[in-house]
């Protein structure tokens, strides 16, 4: 096991990576990058003034960046490439999958930035201000979307927003519906050529829960995929907590599993299982695995490499290996990949199997200087 830094820049906040091994053995690393304006303070000698400026998970210039890596040395193959952005909204978490025809699928969601005065007026008028804030203003959730790239990730389709999520009120009544939901988590391919992707959003119960969308090949669609909602996966009926950032896995035995990060539940992972390709789901259960969020990488022998961030001291990255058809996640011994994080703002791992059988786990991490970067851990998988 070894660690390496794949991307770091003093002027950017890099986070929320996803990774895939391409057919030619190269590795595609996709991540969210946003401005880190603290470099101005450092340049002016103001770095010691606590609270002068902070970085957050929203930014009006947030973008997706693609970095290609050599599949053996894991060294960058050229400079980072910025994907064409949406002209109106800022890109957030990156999710990556390889479609059966070899093309790349990027799913994500975006925030629409609002000027402070406008945000205040919308709030006073009872408008749909459901978002986050940073030093520059507030942000409105703008919708979940999908993009498709060619097999090399050179050319990408425009942002295609997911269909409206049933039961969710319009973001702007009669103007803009609630497109899908927020996304962070691995999609799952189905035997019939379809694909399912989970999202998370609010609901009648008042807390965020998870929902499932399905994409099927359709030559008449702009990116060759036709999306439709399948239904809810899980939520806390008691209204006490949230089930968010669901990642999907389809086991060799044919079960579809959703791994949820939770809120107000001790940071314990929640697990949902479907035996009919996501049409219906058994009641979710709370596991004893602590962390968030979770990425289940299927291994060639049927086992799962489950990676997750650990935002409790000692902060870092952890994982488990277990067989989902005859074991529970708790049955896999916990592997501590990193425990040297300076604070809780780290994690969001994503793993891929390299052509030589090693596992590459990418995640965002912070050094003692506070700069968020994309780091990785390489592991030899035990038999």
Instruction: Identify the residue with better confidence: 131 or 98.
Output: 98
The reported pLDDT for the residue numbered 204 is 47
Summarize the confidence of residues 147-171 as an average pLDDT.
94
CB neighbour list of residue 307: distance below 8 Å, 6 or more residues apart: 294, 295, 297, 317, 318, 319, 337, 349, 350, 351, 361, 363
Rounded Cα–Cα distance for residues 178 and 163 (Å)? 8
The reported pLDDT for the residue numbered 121 is 80
CB neighbour list of residue 194: distance below 8 Å, 6 or more residues apart: 214, 215, 216, 217
pLDDT(129) > 80: no
3-state secondary structure of 40: helix
Task: Work out the mean pLDDT of the chain and round it to a whole number.
Answer: 92
Using alpha carbons, select from 31, 40, 38 the residue that is nearest to residue 56.
Answer: 38
pLDDT band at 343 (very low <50, low <70, confident <90, very high): very high
Summarize the confidence of residues 97-111 as an average pLDDT.
96
Using alpha carbons, select from 63, 62, 106 the residue that is nearest to residue 83.
Answer: 63
pLDDT(265) > 60: yes
Instruction: Identify the residue with better confidence: 140 or 155.
Output: 155
The reported pLDDT for the residue numbered 47 is 65
Summarize the confidence of residues 324-340 as an average pLDDT.
96
Is-contact 111 139, C-beta < 8 A? yes
pLDDT(128) > 70: no
pLDDT band at 52 (very low <50, low <70, confident <90, very high): low
Rounded Cα–Cα distance for residues 275 and 281 (Å)? 8
Q: What are phi and psi of 157, to 5 degrees?
A: -75, 160
pLDDT band at 127 (very low <50, low <70, confident <90, very high): low
Contacts 24+ apart (CB under 8 A), 76-84: 76/6, 76/7, 77/26, 80/7, 80/33, 82/33, 83/147, 83/156, 84/156, 84/158
Going along the chain from its start, the domains and CATH numbers come out as 2-380 (2.120.10.10)
3-state secondary structure of 113: strand
The reported pLDDT for the residue numbered 143 is 95
Lowest mean pLDDT among 14-23, 48-57, 287-296: 48-57
Summarize the confidence of residues 358-366 as an average pLDDT.
97
Distances (CA, A) of 111 to 46, 87, 249, 287, 369: 30, 12, 27, 32, 28
Phi-psi region of 371 (alpha: psi -120 to 50; beta: other; left: phi over 0): beta
Using alpha carbons, select from 183, 164, 160, 161 the residue that is nearest to residue 174.
Answer: 164
Q: For the chain, how many residues are written? A: 383
pLDDT(171) > 50: yes
The reported pLDDT for the residue numbered 130 is 55
CB-CB neighbours of 325 under 10 Å: 13
Q: Indicate the pTM of the whole model.
A: 0.95
The reported pLDDT for the residue numbered 309 is 98
The reported pLDDT for the residue numbered 40 is 84
146 class by beta-carbon count within 10 Å (0-12 exposed, 13-18 middle, 19+ buried): buried
């Amino acid at each position: 096991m070894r660690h390496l830094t794949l991307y770091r820049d003093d002027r950017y906040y890099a986070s929320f990576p996803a990774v895939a091994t391409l057919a030619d053995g190269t590795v595609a690393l996709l991540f969210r990058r946003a401005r880190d304006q603290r470099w101005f303070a450092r340049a002016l000698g103001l770095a010691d003034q606590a609270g002068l400026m902070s970085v957050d998970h929203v930014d009006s210039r947030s973008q997706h960046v693609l970095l290609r890596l050599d599949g053996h040395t894991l060294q960058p193959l050229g400079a980072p490439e910025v994907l064409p952005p949406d002209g109106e909204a800022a890109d957030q978490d990156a999710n990556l999958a390889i479609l059966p025809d070899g093309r790349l699928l990027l799913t994500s969601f975006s925030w629409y930035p609002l000027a402070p005065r406008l945000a205040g007026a919308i709030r006073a008028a009872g408008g749909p201000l459901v978002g986050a804030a940073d030093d520059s203003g507030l942000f409105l959730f703008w919708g979940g979307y999908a993009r498709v790239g060619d097999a090399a990730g050179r050319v990408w389709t425009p942002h295609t927003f997911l269909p409206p999520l049933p039961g969710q009120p319009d973001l702007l009544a009669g103007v803009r519906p609630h497109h899908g939901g927020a996304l962070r988590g691995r999609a799952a391919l189905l035997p019939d050529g379809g694909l399912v992707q989970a999202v998370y959003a609010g609901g009648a119960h008042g807390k965020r829960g998870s929902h499932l969308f399905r994409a099927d090949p359709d030559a008449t669609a702009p990116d060759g995929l036709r999306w439709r909602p399948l239904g809810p996966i899980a939520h806390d009926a008691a209204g006490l907590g949230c089930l968010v950032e669901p990642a999907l896995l389809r086991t060799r035995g044919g079960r579809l599993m959703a791994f949820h990060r939770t809120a107000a539940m001790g940071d314990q992972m929640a697990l949902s299982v479907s035996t009919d390709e996501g049409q219906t789901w058994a009641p979710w259960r709370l596991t004893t695995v602590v962390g968030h969020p979770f990425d289940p990488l299927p291994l060639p022998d049927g086992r799962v490499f489950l990676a997750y961030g650990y935002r409790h001291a000692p902060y870092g990255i952890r994982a488990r290996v277990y067989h989902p058809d005859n074991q529970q996640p708790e049955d896999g011994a916990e592997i501590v990949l990193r425990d040297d994080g300076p604070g809780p703002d780290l994690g969001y791992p994503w793993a891929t199997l390299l052509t030589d059988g090693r596992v590459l786990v990418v995640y965002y991490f912070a050094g003692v200087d506070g700069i968020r970067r994309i780091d990785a851990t390489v592991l030899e998988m035990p038999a």
